[in-house]
Chains A and B, each alone.
Chain A
């Protein structure tokens, strides 16, 4: 046996072993999520959230919405956020040194004036230029903070310093929240006695092509473009299956930066958002969990499957590539910062399952896939490996990907059923079939670029040009 054929066998069987483990993990996640979803739906079927809206016992929430050059839609977005049903709420808009007229518009429309405000610098941030409140009682929940530009993490940290309530809800200012989003997000914080709920994540759904009026979601439509459609399917898989299963395991590492709630005290004690990573949302959750683990404090990171937050997904390869590049860098940076936890029993599920899963199947997966594919092609051309084996392995991985997507569609129809037309479901099925050839390779390529950019010390956020849910183009 020559060393070349040994190498060929190593590659073939190595990839096979990796694929089998990956598939097994995904099967476990899919099946494990069922119980959590069912329990949640049974438990909340008759919940009257109005009770929480009116009671003085409702936990106080500070909603933090950083805004940078959002002048085109800022007034409408703030109006939409102010209309959310929740009594014990303060809405903090952080103008992160916008170069446009965002602040001027807010001052004019909401009749704001600069107040003396002591910013408690519990976390170091860029300078705050001013804090504004409204003269009109109807906008008493609104606080606008004007600060020097420092990026999203810095803006959120200013929000953390200013927030007065016990819980924080961090959102992207251009997200569309359903009216009872905060009521549903707040409830898990009240549901545990023996453990402290340190964070709650909510489902983010794709709003492209949905009907939105005055910042409110009027009608859910399936996106028409292929990329938003593929992302819709991806989000269903990720939120409805993945995160529900991780939540049941109490091993959730990521709460989307677009919509998540945190215990303010723990977030501050853990040090707030990290400026040095582009994956600040994941990094904060990991650090909060680590803080609790290192002090042996019982805690939970919960997740709710209701579709509460709707956001615009990138609709061009260019923007999608930037986004996925950033996500990859964020993941790697977070794993690097917290490498101490890797297979560290001291961190229980976090160290023994969650972290290794992210390392092997989120960080390494695109790398193995990319180089495995190239290796196979080269080895097959050189006759060092059996191409039939490659085709069989590809068929296995492809068929499983299709099965996983089909199962996600099945669960979606059985639970929240946002897309009611048979035509929509068929389009999702076709997308599940086609994504393996277009969407998935592109995502893998973007992740590889993310790895390369990280090696080259590129830390740019990446400009996210959006068409806008109201149809206006914005950056």
Chain B
């Protein structure tokens, strides 16, 4: 019983400490509210000055009050200002963005980013690289490049993005060395970042298409599809028969995007033995790459239990020749209600 009472007492004491901590924290936050508002205003003013700096002042230093310089030793203020500068830099372009970078450098904030980069905490490392990338600073590059294959996912993701931000398509060379898989989310981020830089006739996709890293192959196919690198047709087409179903799916999607009529025969041959998910992707591709001569073959594929596949195949036929599905409709007996309903649906969609 003594132990029970002791633990009950201990639990109450811990609760009291937790609640006290929360209340003190909120009280401090509340009492600093006015001060914080002032700091925020100061930061906003500084950022505004940087954004509105005239073009001819490009090499001039911003006039900073002694108070601002003094405030930089305050960690909270520095973080607040850095965050505001980063948000501004993210959302603007041109001279205004250059002004933000100039102010950032003039305030010496990059040295804090470098210190964060050397931190042993992965979240600080990642945050530092975001800062460096956004500000376009070519500092600590060997270290950042090494981080592109770091075991911590967030560190390597941010390192890869930073390299792209700084070097555009040339930065993609990290694809040569990474041993970890790129997640779908990271691929989206990389493609987005690449879309912001000037598209060049970058090389090495053919090499990445042969990579032993599956995600690099998938990403390379996405690059080939997005940037319409038709000269890589043969390399991508080889992946239509890859042993990995996800790579095959990406290759099919690429062919669809390219509207690659040349791949038609290959896709038609592969169609019967593909897994259902990839069959759906091929059927979608048929909508753009097939022609009238392919209609008999497409009709033969309709002999399937998969209604979703039937729908896509009928839609492909309708996309080629809408009249054919009217003929097709008559070829089915009224008892085959499913397929007739699908035809009606496709008719409705196409006519609309």
Contact = CB atoms under 8 A, between A and B. Distances in A.
Interface of A: 16, 42-43, 45-46, 48, 51-52, 55, 57-58, 115-118, 120, 187, 189-194, 265, 386, 388-389, 392-393, 395-396, 398-400, 402-403, 406-407, 409-410, 413, 420, 422, 425-426, 429
Interface string B91-112: 0000000000000000000000
B7 interface: yes
Contacts of B154: 42-43
A58 B123 contact: no
Nearest to B10: A399
Contacts of A389: 1, 4
B18 A422 contact: no
B22 interface: yes
B227 interface: no
A299 to B, nearest CB: 16
A51 B15 contact: no
Contacts of B25: 413
Nearest to B4: A392
Contacts of A395: 4-5, 8
B71 interface: no
18 contacts: A45-B127, A46-B130, A57-B184, A118-B341, A120-B311, A190-B185, A190-B188, A191-B185, A192-B183, A395-B8, A396-B4, A399-B12, A399-B15, A400-B7, A400-B8, A410-B22, A413-B25, A413-B26
A58 B192 CA distance: 12
Interface string B317-352: 000000000000000000000100110110110000
B184 A410 contact: no
Q: Top 9 nearest A-B pairs by Cβ distance?
A: A190-B184, A399-B11, A116-B344, A392-B4, A190-B185, A42-B123, A118-B341, A395-B8, A193-B181
Nearest to B310: A118
Contacts of A191: 183-185
B295 interface: no
Contacts of A16: 4
B215 interface: yes
Interface string B248-270: 00000000000000000000000
B125 to A, nearest CB: 11
Contact of A396 (B11, B222, B345): B11
Interface in B180-231: 181-185, 187-189, 191-192, 215, 222
Given A395-B5, A399-B12, A55 B341 contact: no
Contacts of B182: 193
Given A191-B183, A392-B1, A403-B18, 10 more contacts: A57-B222, A120-B308, A191-B185, A192-B183, A193-B184, A193-B215, A402-B11, A403-B12, A410-B21, A425-B22
B342 to A, nearest CB: 5
B27 A422 contact: yes
B23 interface: yes
Contacts of A57: 184, 187-188, 191, 222
A52 B189 CA distance: 9
A55 B8 CA distance: 54
A194 B244 CA distance: 13
B82 to A, nearest CB: 12
Highest count of chain A CB atoms <10 Å: which of B7, B344, B347: B7
Interface in B128-157: 130, 154
A55 B185 contact: no
Interface of B: 1, 4-5, 7-9, 11-12, 14-15, 18-19, 21-23, 25-27, 30, 90, 122-123, 126-127, 130, 154, 181-185, 187-189, 191-192, 215, 222, 277, 307-308, 311, 338, 341-342, 344-345, 347-348
A91 B119 CA distance: 46
B315 to A, nearest CB: 11
Nearest to B7: A396
Contacts of B11: 396, 399-400, 402-403
Contact of A116 (B9, B12, B126, B347): B347
Contacts of A422: 23, 26-27, 30
A435 to B, nearest CB: 14
A90 to B, nearest CB: 14
Given A190-B183, A392-B4, A395-B5, A116 B27 contact: no
A323 B269 CA distance: 56
A112 to B, nearest CB: 14
B5 to A, nearest CB: 5
A406 B18 CA distance: 7
B223 to A, nearest CB: 12
B345 A116 contact: yes
Contacts of B222: 57
A406 B21 CA distance: 11
A398 B22 CA distance: 21
A327 B293 CA distance: 59
A192 B277 CA distance: 19
Given A51-B192, A190-B185, A409 B22 contact: yes
Given A51-B192, A395-B4, A395-B5, A425 B181 contact: no
A406 B23 CA distance: 12
B250 to A, nearest CB: 11
Contacts of A193: 181-184, 215
Contact of A46 (B15, B23, B127, B191): B127
B123 A406 contact: no
B23 A393 contact: no
Nearest to A398: B8
A398 B15 CA distance: 12
Contacts of A190: 183-185, 188
A398 B341 CA distance: 62
A402 B12 contact: yes
B15 to A, nearest CB: 4
Nearest to A188: B185
A428 to B, nearest CB: 10
A413 B182 CA distance: 34
Highest count of chain B CB atoms <10 Å: which of A46, A55, A410: A46
Nearest to B134: A46
Given A46-B130, A194-B181, A407-B18, A118 B345 contact: yes
A396 B3 CA distance: 10
Highest count of chain A CB atoms <10 Å: which of B4, B12, B307: B4
A462 B348 CA distance: 41
Contacts of B183: 190-193
A193 to B, nearest CB: 4
Contacts of A406: 14-15, 18-19
Contacts of A265: 277
B117 to A, nearest CB: 15
Nearest to A55: B188
Contact of B15 (A187, A189, A403, A425): A403
B347 A118 contact: no
A58 B348 contact: no
Given A57-B187, A395-B5, A425 B345 contact: no
A115 B348 contact: yes
A216 to B, nearest CB: 23
